[in-house]
Chains A and B, each alone.
Chain A
Amino acid sequence: MNFKALLMGATWAIGLALSPITAIAQNSGGNLVYLVQPEPPSLASFLSTSGPIGLVAPKIYDGLFDYDTDLQIVPSLAESYEVSEDGKTVTFKLRQGVVWHDGAPFTSADVAFTVMDVLKQVHPRGPNSFREVTSIDTPDDYTAVFNLENPAPYMLRALSVYESPMVPKHLLEGQDPRNSDLATNPVGTGPFRFVEWRKGQYIRLDKNENYWKPGLPLLDRIVGRFIPDASTRTAAMENGEVMYGAYGAIPNIDAVRLREMDGFSVTTDGYAMINPMALIEFNTTKPPFDNPAMRRAVSLVMDRQFLIDNIWFGYGKPATSALSSNFDKVGLYRSGLPNYPATGDLEAAIKELDDAGIMPDADGVRASITLDLIPYGEDWRRAGEYMKQAMKPLGIEVELRYEDVPTWLNRIYAEYDFEMNVNYFYQLPDPVLGVHRHYGTDQIRQGTHFVNSSRYSNPELDALLAAGAQEPDATKRAEIYGEIQEILATDMPVANLFEMEFLTVYNDKLADHATSAMGAYGPFENASITE
């Protein structure tokens, strides 16, 4: 039995003047209803990294690895792994006796099929994560040998159930994985099995009685509910109808209120693998932002702390580099870079423009631009209003533009018809997975979303990115990424604003929902409800 669960159960029991034994007895079992927002388009996590899919599918599937809260590897379907001396062969020893929800055994053939025929082919990020994998040998049912073209240390960070779910070969083989029944009727090896999806209402998962972790999962059932209105989501949480909401399902404005109430908690844990970063993308191919001085000036003038304090209710951390400070854990983050003042530096920004010879006209205007805003909610709109004001003393006149999602995506990533765009990117657990796509020349891919829309191209940086991806030695790798961050702090094709902290709001009756680095995108096998 899990110690923390026991402790929480006991605390509750004392609080409710019940005997601790009752609380412990009820610790196993129970039905968890949680918020899934918005309703996912499918449950094909092998095909789409859409946020709401990540809230459900990881409960059904398993990955080769899990990651603990310090981002260290925890064995999951792979019991152990071994990297060869030259870094070009990675051997996974798989867990024995694992079965799919339909009863078929899980073997190395499933692993080879998943990576080579599914993730590497159709997953949005899979072709990047597994780009060095040339083939996978399966000498026996429980050994999978990945043969790599070049060393790929970052690959070992992309094996979570959210990023790379293992899918059943016997249900997908011979079909187009983009068009299979598995997308809406998933069959995995995970702690919960799929039961029913009522469109517009809920997705129901029941306990997998044959789960390979003994005694788990603790919950009998988990139900993901879709509630379109944010105020109603909060009311449902307050009323105990739902017990868990992550990724801003409960808006910050309500979260800070619930935080003060008895029986509810708010946490920023569980997002370490995601590393969301709020930022501004500049169109570097046309005036005025083809001039790096303009881009630096915008980065200099932004009061990042103001945005965090006033719009995100204090949740967030000013960005200080192209990489999130979370990469400090793996030694890749470099501190002390110029052009990222936490509270804004108007004088430095003005000097930057003056030095570059960008002078104000008779009306004090140096440039008139349009600022596009990511259409993912009111917070971004407010951020845009702040930025408009912040840039005015600099002589930059700003028009705000807020469109619906398809129009915006089309404008930024297909038409490139923008000057400045506020956005956020997941940096993921390794820069190769989440950051390279923003800066590499090979990532200027017209029509592909969330890649290098700035169309920044720098051969020197490209060489460093390529070297950084393959370098197995940690110290050398840190050196390479240090250089990358220096270049980006000066050239500033993208101005990082702040490291976002998503909020998870939960009912205190729910224990142990964030036992891995995956948080809401994790399996919930240790979660339990204490009465």
Chain B
Amino acid sequence: MEGSKRRARYVLKRLIQAVPIVLAIVVLNFFLLQLAEGDAVDVLAGEAGSATPEYMAELREKFGLDKPLIVQLGVYLKNVVTLDLGYSFRHDMPVSQLVFDRFIPTLLLMTSTIFLAVGLGIVLGLVAASGLNTWRDTAISIFALITYATPLFWVGLMLIVVFSLNLGWFPTSGMEDFAMFYEGWDRVVDIAHHLVLPTITLSLFYLALYTRLMRASMLEQAGQDYVTTARAKGLTERRIVFVHVLRNALLPVVTMAGVQVGALIGGSVIVESVFAWPGLGMLAFEALFARDLNLLLGIFLLSAVLVVAVNLVVDIIYSTLDPRIEMA
């Protein structure tokens, strides 16, 4: 009872601390984005062909781009405080709706990638560490090195060439079959089918990291005194590895995963671009080139909030994994 109360107080404290951080990020991003030349009106008018200066002035007025910078920032902050992320004039939609629509595919890709990369990384690291300097260890290390060093877009394109064009097992791109528009369970299966290649591509990169980390962490723990003690008690190797070493070795992996979840939320521009996956990364990328600042700020804000939240969750997982770590 005492523990859970303390935990709640801790969470609350962390959340309150997060507010100024997030606000600072918003203000910083706002000014950073002003450094880019040209604005949304330039891009819209440029795409349209010929537009009159009057029309462009009118657009600037409509978008609020004619106001002094500090007023624009004030308006934006006021909106953010009331949970209004503003309006994307380019997409003619509220930013919150745009971001939410693209957040779900990102979440799908991110979750499956994290599970695959962390899960398989732990297993491979474990296998490599327990067979130190055997052929298994060497093979796994080489595999990790190659996947880490290969550029993502190339892996993606090669997977498309092999598994889509040559074997025909998976579709090349997209999230659904747009000729058919499946519904219900068929749709779920269809989306899962489309998810396979992007997940593998993105996982391969992170997989290498977790494998290396897990292997190093396992080796480090194996030399600790408590392992010697356990062995002296006469425990089986299996029990030592799975009950004692593994649990301790997982801590750095969890830290790493926490940091990377944050990075993955921003989406992966490369994987989304290669597989035409409709995630946040592409949205942010396009928004940058369209100078759609409201939208960009919205995405940044969401990422900032999520990074803060994920870090909090990681800290809580930490204390569960290792009761010695207390929350204060």
> A-side interface residues toward B, CB under 8 Å?
31, 33, 38-39, 41-42, 47-51, 122, 124-125, 127-128, 178-179, 183-184, 198-202, 204, 221, 223, 225-229, 231-232, 235-236, 238-239, 241, 404-407, 409-410, 413-414, 426, 437, 445-451
B173 contacts A199, C-beta separation under 8 Å = no
Q: Is the CB of B37 within 8 A of A200?
A: no
Q: Are B275 and A232 interface neighbours, CB within 8 A?
A: yes
Which residues of chain A are near B283, meaning CB under 8 Å?
A: 199-200
Smallest beta-carbon distance B105→chain A, Å: 8
Whether the pair B274, A229 counts as a contact (CB closer than 8 A) is: yes
Interface centre among B92, B178, B272 (most CB of A within 10 A): B178
Q: Can you list 27 A-B contacts with CB-CB less than 8 angstroms, sorted by A residue number?
A: A41-B44, A41-B91, A41-B92, A48-B49, A49-B49, A124-B48, A179-B62, A183-B92, A198-B101, A199-B278, A200-B278, A200-B279, A223-B178, A227-B174, A228-B282, A232-B160, A232-B275, A239-B164, A239-B165, A239-B168, A241-B174, A407-B38, A409-B38, A410-B42, A414-B42, A437-B50, A446-B53
| Extra contacts besides A41-B90, A406-B38, A446-B53 (9): CB < 8 Å | A41-B47, A42-B91, A125-B50, A202-B178, A223-B179, A235-B157, A235-B165, A407-B38, A450-B49
Q: For the complex, is B18 an interface residue (Cβ under 8 Å from A)?
A: no
B-side interface residues toward A, CB under 8 Å? 36-39, 42-53, 55-56, 58-59, 62, 90-93, 98, 101-102, 105, 153, 157, 160-161, 164-165, 168, 171-176, 178-181, 272-276, 278-279, 282-283, 286, 289-291
Q: Which residues of A contact B160 (CB under 8 A)?
A: 231-232, 235
Contact in complex: A232, B172 (CB < 8 Å): yes
Q: List, in ascending order, chain A residues with CB within 8 A of B55's CB.
A: 122
Contact B179 A31, beta carbon cutoff 8 Å:
yes
A-B CB pair tally, cutoff 8 Å: 173
Residue pair B164, A228 in contact (C-beta under 8 Å): no
Chain B residues closer than 8 Å to A31, beta-carbon distance: 179-180
Report the minimal beta-carbon distance from A32 to chain B, rounded to whole angstroms: 8
Known A226-B276, A239-B164; contact A409-B46, beta-carbon cutoff 8 A: yes
Q: Are A42 and B38 in contact (CB under 8 A)?
A: no
> Quick one: closest A residue to B270, CB to CB?
A229
Report, nearest first, the 3 A-B pairs whose CB atoms are least far apart.
Answer: A406-B38, A200-B278, A50-B47
Of all chain A residues, which has the CB nearest B276?
Answer: A227
Q: Do A199 and B51 form a contact, CB below 8 Å, given A184-B93, A241-B173, A406-B39?
A: no
Pick the most buried of A200, A226, A405, A449: most chain B CB atoms within 10 A of its CB.
A200
Nearest chain A CB to B149's CB is how many angstroms away?
21
Query: Contacts A199-B102, A449-B49: A409 and B91 contacting too (C-beta < 8 A)?
Result: no
User: In the bound complex, do residue A48 and residue B172 qualify as a contact, i.e. CB atoms below 8 Å apart?
Assistant: no
B50 lies within 8 A of A410 (CB)? no
> Which chain A residues border B43 with CB–CB below 8 Å?
405-406, 409
Which of A227, A231, A449 is the one whose CB lies under 8 Å from B51?
A: A449
Q: Separation in Å of the A247 CB from the closest CB of chain B?
A: 13
Known contacts A41-B44, A232-B173, A239-B172; A445 and B37 CB within 8 A of each other: no
Minimal Cβ-Cβ distance residue in A for B176:
A201
Contacts of A241 in B (CB 8 A): 171-174, 179
B89 (CB) vs chain A CBs: closest residue: A41
Min CB–CB distance B101 → chain A (angstroms):
6
In the complex, what's the smallest C-beta–C-beta distance from B103 to chain A, in angstroms? Answer: 11
Known: A49-B49, A226-B276, A235-B161. A404 touches B178 (CB 8 A): no
- Asked if B92 contacts A42 (CB within 8 A), the reply is yes
Asked whether, in the complex, the Cβ of A227 is within 8 Å of the Cβ of B173, the reply is yes
A127 to B176, CA, bound (A): 42
Q: In whole angstroms, how far apart are the Cα atoms of A5 and B58 in the complex?
A: 48
Query: A residues within 8 A CB of B289?
Result: 404-406
A408 to nearest B CB, angstroms?
8
Closest Cβ–Cβ distance, residue B53 to chain A (whole Å): 4
A433 to B164, CA, bound (A): 45
The CA of A184 and the CA of B93, in the complex, are separated in Å by 9
A225 to B47 CA separation, bound complex (whole angstroms)? 19
CB nearest to A415 among chain B residues: B37
Q: Which residue of B lies closest to A437 (CB)?
A: B50
Tell me the minimal C-beta distance from A22 to chain B in angstroms: 20
- Known interface pairs A47-B48, A199-B102; A407-B174 also in contact (CB < 8 Å): no
Closest B residue to A236 using CB positions: B172
Closest to B47 in A: A50
Measured CA separation A122–B48 after assembly (Å): 11
Q: Is B45 within 8 A of A228, CB to CB?
A: no
For A404, list chain B residues within 8 Å (CB).
Answer: 38, 289
